[in-house]
C-alpha cells in the first residue's frame, strides 16, 4: 500500500535535464475570463470585446495574458515549488500566442539549473516552463528560479549549473499575435489617445487608482489558477507561521498592477514578454495596491510597422499612492511601500 | 510628452449637445451571468433557464436587466462622474431589448442639461445615456444627473438648461421584448401563482429575506461592471475620507433589491423601465439588506393582451426587516433604515 | 388580494405520496463551472479539461458532480426545508448521468415518509428528490430527511411512515457514465499514479491541505446554487440567533472535502453515490477545513472491467490538520474538530 499523497520534490529530487510533465489539463472558458475581469477590473479592449478582437483580425477576444500565465504557473507549483521557501526570480518570459476560450492548456518544465546554497540546507532550482494548447502550440514560456528545501542536509550537493539568462529580451524576440492587424485599432475603445509614438523612454506614469484586496478575492483568484501553494489558503497554519496570516499570491499583485496600468497605458493591448520580476515584499488582505510605470525602452518587433513594443518597469506599492514614484533609495534599498518590481514588454499600436 | 492619465471632466468641460463616446466595448458572456447570479441569488426563470426562455420565444436566456444596466452605467463613469460628488437621480430609463450572452455593449451619453449650483463650486450635469449592442440596436436608455466639481470656482457659469423629465413613463411607452410569447409562461417555474391580475394598486409586499453584503462581493460586482468609481475600491483613501470606509455602489443595492423581490414578485419577468431612483443613504459592508415593494400603478403595454406592467416602488433598508414597510415619516424624512427608493416598471404575464 | 410571499410548508403540509414540483429551472454554464472551480480549487482532470473528457469518450468536460447536486438540492429548499430546524440525513443518493454546460436542470421531490416527534411540535419529513435535465433524463436522485416545525402544535399527528433505506448502495447499483472509456484515462492528468487496484479496504489517507473559508465565499457559492436557506446570508437575523453569526451551507463543506481529497485520491473521476452523510458540527467563516478519508469498500460496477468503485468515508475537520485521523472516541462521540462525516462511492480507473 503505497503512500497516496505526494510530499513534492525536494532539492535532491531535481536533476539537470529532467522534464517535469505537469498535471491538471485545463480548458479555459469565458467563465474564467469573466471571473478574472471581476477580480481585477481590467478594461483593455481586446480582452473585453469579441467585436474589437474581430476588427483586429482575431477570432474572438483572447483571455488576459496574465490569466494564461497564472494558469500555466499554477500547474508548476506541485512539481516545482511546493517545498520552496522563496520564489527568487523570472526571466525570458514570452507570450507566444494568444489563448482563447475553448483552448486547453498544459505545461511542462525543464530543469536547467541547480545550485546548492552555502548553508547546505537549501538549493536554487532553475526551470524553463512552457505552457501549450491542445494543438501543442506553445503559448507561454519563461524561466523561474526558486529556493527549495533539501530533504536531508547531509545529501551531497549536485554540480552547480547556473543558466545564462538575458537581463531582457530584445524587441526582435517579441511575438506579435498571428493575423493581428494593428491598423484596425481604435483608441475610442480605451478612451485614451496616446499611442506608441507618444511615449518617451524615461517617462514615468502614475496609474492613480488604488485597489484594496480582500482575503476571499485572492483565494478565489489563486484557486482559479489551480495554484496549490499552501500559504495562500490556510489560515490555521499561517496564523502559526512567519507572518501570522495568509500571504497573497505574487501573481495577484501582477494582475492588479496590470489592471491599474490601464490608466495611462490603455492602449497596451498585449503583454509580450516578462524580462524579470521581483516580489519585493509580501501583500496581505486589507492593503490597498497602487502602481506606477517607467518606460525603459522602445522597439519595433521584427517585421512590424504598425505596432511597437514598450519596455516597462511597473512598480506596485501598498498603502502608498504613487504620485511620488516610490523607487529605490540612494543606498539601493527599496521604498518600504514597494511590493512588486516588474520588467516587461507590452505591445501598443503606433 | 502629453499627460497619459485622464483626470476626467469637471463641470466646465461639459457643453449642451456634447456626445460622449464611452470607452470599453464589452462582450457579455454566460460567465458574467453566472457571476451575477452568484452575487445576488436571483431566481427569475427567464434569466436562469435557456429552456424557459426558448419556450417563451427567445433564443436563449437573456442576462438580467440590471446586469446590462450596470455594464452600461459603468462605461459612463470615467466620462461623466469621476469628479462627481453625488449621483442625484435617474429618469426615463427604458429597457429596449434583451441582452444575450455573446452581445457586445457600447454606450454614448448626450449632455442635455447644465446648471451651476448657487455656491459656484459645483454644477449639475444631465446626460441621456444609450447602451447599444453590436448591431447598433439600443438596449437601454436613461437620463442621469450628477453633481460635478468645477475645476476652477472662478469659471463663469454656463447658461442653465434643465431638461423636462417625466416623473414616470407611461405604460404605453414600455417595450415588450420582440417575439416574446407571454402565454407560454408557466408559473411552476417560479413556484408562485400570482400573475398580473392578482396584484392591486396600493398593495404592499414585504420581501421577507435579508442579504448581508461583504466587501469582496461589492468589489467583485462593481469591477465586473468595469465601473471605476474610486470610493468603492480604495480603502486607503476612503479610510481618510467622509465615511472612513468603502462605499458600496448604489447599483449593487438595486440588484439586491430586485433579487430579494423575487419573494412576492416571482413572475415579474423583465424590468421595463426606471422612472426614478434615489440612493437615500449609503450602504456599507456588513449591513444586511431587506426590501419591500408597493404597487403604484398597473398598465397594459401597447399592442399586448397577455402581459401587463406593474409600476413598483421598491424600498430597500439596511439592518431593518421590512414587515413594517419602513417609508417616510410625517415630516417627509425617510425612515433611518432606508437606503434605496426605486420607482420602476416590471412586466408580468396575465 | 392573496398573500404574495410564501411562508413555506410546515409539517402539516406534507402528505405521503405528494410530489413537489420545484421551482427555478436552471441552465448550467461554463461560468458556473468556472466559479465552482474558483471557490473550491478542484483539480480532477475530467471536470477541468474538455480534451481529457473527449479522450475518455465524453462530449466535453462534465460539471463537478457536487455542483449538480447542490443545484438540485437548492431547488428543494423553498419547498422542503425553509421551515426546517435540522437536516437529519441523506441516503441512496445516486449520480445517474453527467451534467454538461448547456443542460437545464429541474427537480421534483416525492414525500416518502412522515413521523411526528414525541414533543409534538415538529416532525420528520422524508423526501426522495430527483434532478433531471432538459431531456427528462434523471441526473441525480437521493433521499433526504429533515426536522420540520409544525404550524400548530395542536395539529393531529399523521400516521407514521418511515421508509426503509439502505445503509449503503451496492457496487452493482452504481452508474458509470454512458460511453465512458476508462482505458483512455491517463494518470499524468492528475500527477498521481495510484489507480483502483492500489487502494486497500481500511486504508486511511490524510489529504494534508487546509482551506480557510470566508463569508463571501460561502455566500457566493450558496447563491450560485440558488439555495435560499436564510441562515447562510442574513447576519442581521443570525447575530440575534443561536450561533450569533451566519452558518455555512453544509454542502460547501462537502465540496471543500471533495476538492481537498484530490491530494491522495486524484484519480477518483466521478462521485457515483452518496450512501449517507452527517453535518457533525457547524462551520463558520474564518475556520480552516481539513479532511481525511478511509476506504470502506471496493467494488466493480456491473458490466465494467476497467473501472472500479471505492466506497469512501471522508471526514472533514475544522482548525485541525488530519494527520491523526480524527474520528470517534471510545464512547462514540465525534472528535470535537469534526464537521462532516460523508459515506460515498467514487469511480476510479483500474
What letter would DSSP give residue C247?
P
Q: Where in chain B is the domain with CATH 3.10.129.10?
A: 10-157, 190-350
A235 vs C212: CB contact, 8 Å cut-off? yes
CATH superfamily, domain B190-350, is Hotdog Thioesterase (3.10.129.10)
Tally of CB atoms within 10 A around B304:
17
One pLDDT digit (tens) per residue for chain A, 350 residues: 678 998 889 999 999 999 999 999 999 999 999 999 999 999 999 999 999 999 999 999 999 999 999 999 999 999 999 988 888 999 999 999 999 999 999 999 999 999 999 999 999 999 999 999 999 999 999 999 999 999 999 999 999 999 999 999 999 999 999 999 999 999 999 999 999 999 999 999 999 999 999 999 999 999 999 999 989 999 999 999 999 999 999 999 999 999 999 999 999 999 999 999 999 999 999 999 999 999 999 999 999 999 999 999 999 999 999 999 999 888 889 999 999 999 999 999 99
Interface size, chain B vs chain C, as Cβ–Cβ contacts under 8 Å: 139
Q: What is the ipTM of this complex?
A: 0.97
Pick C5's closest partner by Cβ from B206, B211, B288.
Answer: B206
Pick A4's closest partner by Cβ from C41, C194, C319.
Answer: C194
C212 vs A226: CB contact, 8 Å cut-off? no
Residue A22, exposed/middle/buried by CB under 10 A (0-12, 13-18, 19+)?
buried
Q: State the maximum Cα–Cα separation within chain C, in Å, rounded to a whole number.
A: 66
C205 vs A234: CB contact, 8 Å cut-off? no
Coil, strand or helix: which one is B67?
Answer: helix
Pick A34's closest partner by Cβ from C31, C49, C190.
Answer: C31
Sign of the alpha-carbon torsion through B107, B113, B118, B121: positive
CA angle A327, A329, A330 (to 5 degrees): 135
What residues in C contact A214, CB-CB < 8 Å? 214, 216
Smallest CA–CA distance from C134 into chain B, residue: B51
A246 vs C61: CB contact, 8 Å cut-off? no
B236 vs A205: CB contact, 8 Å cut-off? no
B233 vs A206: CB contact, 8 Å cut-off? no
What residues in A contact B228, CB-CB < 8 Å? 41, 43, 209
CATH number of A8-28+63-165: 3.10.129.10
User: Is domain A181-350 annotated with CATH 3.10.129.10?
Assistant: yes
C180 backbone φψ class: left, alpha, beta (φ>0; ψ -120 to 50): beta
A266 vs B27: CB contact, 8 Å cut-off? no
pLDDT tens digits, A42-86: 999 999 999 999 999 999 999 999 999 999 999 999 999 998 888
Pick C41's closest partner by Cβ from A32, A226, A235.
Answer: A226
Interface size, chain A vs chain B, as Cβ–Cβ contacts under 8 Å: 138
Which residues have a Cβ under 8 Å from the Cβ of C195 and sit 6 or more positions away?
A: C187, C267, C348, C349, C350
Pick A48's closest partner by Cβ from B4, B25, B235.
Answer: B25
Do you know the residue count of chain B?
350
Mean pLDDT of B295-323: 97
Smallest CA–CA distance from A31 into chain C, residue: C31
Which residues have a Cβ under 8 Å from the Cβ of C100 and sit 6 or more positions away?
A: C28, C59, C60, C61, C62, C63
Extract the C-alpha cell encoding C116.
Answer: 411526528
CA–CA distance, B224 with C31 (Å, rounded to integer): 13
Specify the DSSP element, H or E, that contains C341: strand C338-349
Instruction: Give the model's pLDDT for residue A19.
Output: 98
| Closest residue by Cα to residue B98 from B53, B129, B142, B143 | B53
CA–CA distance, B101 with B35 (Å, rounded to integer): 13
Which of A32, A50, A346 would best serve as a mutation to test chain B binding (most B beta carbons within 10 A)? Answer: A50
Coil, strand or helix: which one is A40?
Answer: helix
List own/partner pairs for A4-7 with CB under 8 A and 24 or more apart: A4/C192, A4/C194, A4/C198, A4/C199, A4/C203, A4/C205, A4/C264, A4/C265, A5/C205, A5/C206, A5/C207, A5/C208, A5/C263, A5/C264, A6/A78, A6/C191, A6/C192, A6/C263, A7/A82, A7/A83
Coil, strand or helix: which one is A251?
Answer: helix
Strands B211-212 and B138-149: unpaired
A35 vs C32: CB contact, 8 Å cut-off? no
pLDDT tens digits, C231-256: 999 999 999 999 999 999 999 999 99
| Closest residue by Cα to residue C265 from C311, C233, C319 | C311
| Closest residue by Cα to residue C350 from C201, C174, C195, C175 | C195
User: Is domain B10-157 annotated with CATH 3.10.129.10?
Assistant: yes
B51 vs C25: CB contact, 8 Å cut-off? yes
Extract the C-alpha cell encoding C48.
Answer: 477541468
Specify the DSSP element, H or E, that contains B4: none
pLDDT above 70: residue C71: yes
B224 vs A37: CB contact, 8 Å cut-off? yes
C210 vs A237: CB contact, 8 Å cut-off? yes
Which of C32, C47, C50, C262 would best serve as a mutation to test chain A binding (most A beta carbons within 10 A)? Answer: C50
Mean pLDDT of B11-34: 98
Interface size, chain A vs chain C, as Cβ–Cβ contacts under 8 Å: 136
B200 vs C27: CB contact, 8 Å cut-off? no
Q: How confident is the model at residue B348 (pLDDT cuts 50, 70, 90)?
A: very high
CATH number of C11-152+167-349: 3.10.129.10
Look up cell 451496492; give the residue: C170
What residues in B contact A194, CB-CB < 8 Å? 2, 4
pLDDT tens digits, B67-94: 999 999 999 999 999 988 888 999 999 9
pLDDT above 70: residue C154: yes
Extract the C-alpha cell encoding B203.
Answer: 398593495
Q: How confident is the model at residue C268 (pLDDT cuts 50, 70, 90)?
A: very high
Pick C188's closest partner by Cβ from A4, A23, A104.
Answer: A23
Instruction: Give the model's pLDDT for residue A62.
Output: 98
Which residues have a Cβ under 8 Å from the Cβ of B170 and sit 6 or more positions away?
A: B299
CA–CA distance, A220 with C217 (Å, rounded to integer): 8
Instruction: Give the model's pLDDT for residue A1.
Output: 61
Q: Where in chain A is the domain with CATH 3.10.129.10?
A: 8-28+63-165, 181-350
CA angle B35, B40, B46 (to 5 degrees): 80
Smallest CA–CA distance from B222 into chain A, residue: A38
Pick A319's closest partner by Cβ from B104, B224, B236.
Answer: B236
Smallest CA–CA distance from A133 into chain C, residue: C51
C321 vs A236: CB contact, 8 Å cut-off? yes
Q: What share of chain A is helix, strand, coil (3-state, %, to 5)?
A: 25, 30, 45
Give the Å distances, CA to CA, from B229 to A210, A289, B11, B238, B341.
11, 16, 17, 12, 21
List own/partner pairs for B162-167 with CB under 8 A and 24 or more apart: B162/B113, B162/B115, B162/B126, B163/B112, B163/B113, B163/B126, B165/B91, B165/B92, B166/B91, B166/B92, B166/B275, B167/B91, B167/B275, B167/B276
Residue B219, exposed/middle/buried by CB under 10 A (0-12, 13-18, 19+)?
buried
What residues in B contact C78, CB-CB < 8 Å? 191
Amino acid at each position: 500500500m503505497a503512500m497516496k499523497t505526494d510530499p513534492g520534490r525536494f532539492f535532491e529530487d531535481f536533476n539537470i535535464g529532467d522534464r517535469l510533465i505537469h498535471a491538471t489539463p485545463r480548458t479555459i472558458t469565458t467563465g474564467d475570463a469573466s471571473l478574472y475581469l471581476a477580480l481585477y477590473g481590467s478594461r483593455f479592449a481586446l480582452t473585453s470585446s469579441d467585436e474589437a478582437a474581430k476588427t483586429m483580425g482575431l477570432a474572438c477576444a483572447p483571455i488576459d495574458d496574465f490569466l494564461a500565465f497564472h494558469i500555466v504557473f499554477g500547474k508548476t507549483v506541485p512539481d516545482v515549488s511546493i517545498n520552496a521557501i522563496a520564489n527568487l526570480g523570472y526571466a525570458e518570459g514570452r507570450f507566444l500566442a494568444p489563448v482563447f476560450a475553448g483552448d486547453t492548456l498544459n505545461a511542462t518544465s525543464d530543469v536547467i539549473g541547480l545550485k546548492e546554497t552555502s548553508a547546505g540546507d537549501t538549493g536554487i532550482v532553475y526551470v524553463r516552463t512552457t505552457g501549450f494548447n491542445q494543438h501543442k502550440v506553445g503559448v507561454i514560456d519563461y524561466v523561474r528560479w526558486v529556493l527549495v528545501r533539501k530533504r536531508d542536509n547531509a545529501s551531497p550537493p549536485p554540480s552547480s549549473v547556473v543558466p545564462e539568462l538575458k537581463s531582457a529580451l530584445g524587441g526582435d524576440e517579441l511575438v506579435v499575435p498571428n493575423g493581428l492587424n494593428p491598423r484596425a485599432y481604435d483608441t475610442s475603445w480605451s478612451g485614451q489617445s496616446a499611442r506608441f509614438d507618444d511615449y518617451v523612454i524615461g517617462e514615468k506614469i502614475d496609474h492613480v487608482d488604488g485597489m484594496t484586496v480582500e482575503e476571499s478575492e485572492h483565494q478565489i483568484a489563486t484557486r482559479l489558477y489551480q495554484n496549490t501553494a499552501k500559504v495562500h489558503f490556510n489560515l490555521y497554519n499561517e496564523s502559526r507561521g512567519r507572518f501570522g496570516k495568509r500571504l497573497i499570491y505574487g501573481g495577484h499583485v501582477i494582475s492588479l498592477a496590470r489592471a491599474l496600468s490601464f490608466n495611462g497605458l490603455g492602449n497596451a493591448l498585449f503583454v509580450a514578454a516578462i524580462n524579470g520580476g521581483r516580489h519585493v515584499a509580501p501583500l496581505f488582505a486589507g492593503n490597498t495596491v497602487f502602481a506606477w510605470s517607467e518606460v525603459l525602452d522602445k522597439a519595433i518587433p521584427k517585421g512590424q510597422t504598425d505596432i511597437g513594443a514598450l519596455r516597462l518597469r511597473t512598480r506596485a506599492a501598498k498603502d502608498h499612492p504613487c504620485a511620488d514614484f516610490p523607487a529605490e533609495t540612494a543606498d539601493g534599498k527599496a521604498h518600504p511601500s514597494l511590493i512588486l518590481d516588474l520588467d516587461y514588454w507590452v505591445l501598443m499600436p503606433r
